[in-house]
Amino acid sequence: MKETFYLIDFALQKSGLEHLKDTTQVQYLGEGAWHQAYLVQLSAGEAVVVRFPKQEAYGKKVEFNEAASLAEYAGTKAYYEIANSVKPGICPEFFYYHVENGKTFTVESYAGKALKLESFTFMEAFQAGAEMGEFFRNMNTAQHGLKGFGYLKWNGTVVEGQFQTSVADFMKEENKEYLSDFKDFIQSYDQPILPSAMAHLEECMINRKLDESQIIFTNQDTSPENILLHSDGRVSLIDPVPLLYSGDSLAGNFINNYQTLYPTFFNAPRYAKHQFERFEEKLQTIADGFMEGYCNGDADVKRRVKQEEFIKLTSLAASQLNLLQASELNSEQKIRYGEKAAIANRIPVLVKRIEEFKWEDKKSGTKLA
H/E run at residue 273: none
| Helix 299-325 vs helix 340-355: crossing angle, to nearest 10 | 150
Q: What is the pLDDT of residue 234?
A: 81
Cβ(101)–Cβ(94) below 8 Å = no
Helix (H) or strand (E) run with residue 27 in it: strand 26-31
Question: What's residue 183's pLDDT?
Answer: 98
Handedness of CA 64, 65, 68, 71 (dihedral sign): positive
Predicted structure pTM score:
0.94
In a 3-state reduction of DSSP, which class is residue 288? Answer: helix
pLDDT at position 23 = 86
Mapping DSSP to helix (H, G, I), strand (E, B) and coil, where does residue 187 land?
Answer: helix
Rg (Cα) of the chain, in Å, rounded?
21
SS3 state at 270: helix
3-state secondary structure 102-160: CCCEEEEECCCCECCHHHCCHHHHHHHHHHHHHHHHHHCCCCCCCCCEEEEEECCCCEE
Decide: helix, strand or coil at residue 54. coil
Summarised one tens digit per residue, pLDDT across range 41-91 is 998 889 999 999 998 888 889 999 999 999 999 999 999 999 999 999 999
CA dihedral over 98, 103, 104, 107, signed as positive or negative = negative
Dihedral pair phi/psi, residue 159, rounded to 5°: -90, 150
pLDDT of residue 362: 62
Determine the residue type at 272. Answer: A
3-state secondary structure of 1: coil
Please state, in angstroms and rounded to a whole number, the distance separating the CA atoms of residues 82 and 87. 9
Look up residue 316 and give its amino acid.
L
Residues forming beta bridges with residue 53, ordered by sequence position: 35
Look at residue 3 in the predicted model and tell me its pLDDT: 87
Q: Of 165, 150, 133, 138, whose CA–CA distance to 241 is shortest?
A: 150
The CA distance from 90 to 62, in Å, is 30
Mean pLDDT for each consecutive 10-residue tract of the chain (369 residues)?
A: 88 94 90 91 91 90 95 98 96 97 96 85 94 97 97 97 97 98 97 97 97 96 88 86 97 98 95 93 97 97 97 98 97 96 98 94 59
> Smallest Cα–Cα separation from 236: which of 127, 143, 113?
113
CA-based torsion, 210, 216, 220, 223: positive or negative: negative
Outline where DSSP puts E strands in 138-296. Answer: 149-154, 159-163, 216-219, 227-229, 235-237, 242-245
| Residues composing the chain | 369
Instruction: Using alpha carbons, list the distances in angstroms from residue 189 to 10, 176, 240, 302, 314.
Output: 54, 20, 34, 30, 13
